[in-house]
Amino acid sequence: MLEIGKYSELTVKKKTDFGVFLDSPEGDVLLPRKYVPGGVKIGDLLKVFIYKDSEDRTIATTLTPKATVGEFAYLRVKEVTRIGAFLDWGLEKDLLVPYREQAEKMKAGSRYIVYLFLEEQTKRITATSKIGRFIEKEDIRLHEGEEVDLLVYRLTERGFKVIVNNRYFGMLYKNEIFRELAVGERARGFVKKIREDKRIDAVLTREGFEDIEEVKKQILKKLKESRGGFLPLTDESSPQSIREELDMSKKTFKKAIGSLYRDGTIEIKHDGIKLVRPDKRKILHKFRF
């Protein structure tokens, strides 16, 4: 089945002066000449995005939209007209947000989090900033510690409201954020807790679920990149300093450097940690045990 607003892999069936026709289960689909890759032959398989043009014809393009149907995106308003706001989403035909689908009146030049869906009657790709009805609020198929994709949705007094895995609402709390974040930013995160109200508390680091070996590798990489193999961090350093330098909690840092010290890989000095030369590691390791 050919899905509007999604990618399809279709075979080149016929070449014309104005483009090529692609074979699909629902009939031929035009890929206009300006989107046809050089050297294309009949029988070639092309990955294309399917949409409807201004005359309601089903059209293919090799351009890459910033989002597809069923996804959230942070898009800029190009212009506002009597029928709604038009967003830049990477295709020549701009994406419409009708006035009835605007949570607040949109302004040209501003950016908004929107959800892309197919308008029921016309099957045209449409966007909305009234995203609540597209969020799953009951069936939370995640578990604590699971890695997730986050889209920063809104700044609140408590922190940032986020969209988790393109499906759920979640929250990043201010006291657990140790780097700059902005609305529209995408980030990797982890599920900290699934609350009774079916909302998700998320964190940017895998607190309490770390693979200690991966954390050790991260610290060693930083040491190797630093001048003299030294980092001015100890177990007395502030959590903020450790977070800014290594993007991990103080608890995780202390656990990792303790393991590295026992391995004979680092020395712990009064003012920081220092990488041990390979030829000295076996001696130090033997001495420490």
Instruction: Report residue 74's pLDDT band, with 50, 70 and 90 as the boundaries.
Output: very high
The tokens describing 61, both together, are 């393009």
Q: In terms of DSSP bridges, do strands 200-203 and 168-173 run parallel, antiparallel, or are they unpaired?
A: parallel
> Which of 57-66, 162-171, 254-263, 272-281 is predicted least confidently?
272-281
Per-residue pLDDT for 270 more than 80? Answer: yes
For the chain, domain boundaries: 7-61, 72-132, 147-203, 212-288
Q: Which CATH architecture has domain 212-288?
A: Orthogonal Bundle (1.10)
Confidence of residue 191 (pLDDT cuts 50, 70, 90): very high
The stretch 248-255 carries a mean pLDDT of 85
Report pLDDT for 68.
Answer: 98
210, pLDDT greater than 60: no
Q: How confident is the model at residue 54 (pLDDT cuts 50, 70, 90)?
A: confident
Q: Which CATH number does the domain 147-203 belong to among 3.30.470.20, 3.40.50.12780, 2.30.130.10, 2.40.50.140? A: 2.40.50.140
Asked if residue 286 has pLDDT above 70, the reply is no
Q: Using the 8-state DSSP alphabet, how is residue 175 labeled?
A: G
- Which top CATH class is 7-61? mainly beta
Identical fold for domains 7-61 and 72-132, yes or no, is yes
CA geometry: angle 236, 239, 241, nearest 5 deg: 85
User: What pLDDT, on the 0 to 100 scale, is given for residue 287?
Assistant: 47
- The torsion angles phi and psi of 3, rounded to 5 degrees, stand at -105, 120
24 — pLDDT class (breaks 50, 70, 90): very high
Please give the Cα distance from 206 to 58 (Å, whole number).
Answer: 44
Query: What's the pLDDT score for residue 29?
Result: 96
Judged against a pLDDT cut of 70, whether residue 64 lies above it is answered with: yes
> Above 90 in pLDDT, residue 239?
no
Q: What percent of the chain lies above the pLDDT cut of 90?
A: 71
Q: Does domain 72-132 have CATH number 2.40.50.140?
A: yes
pLDDT (average), residues 93-101: 97
Q: What is the mean pLDDT of residues 185-206?
A: 90
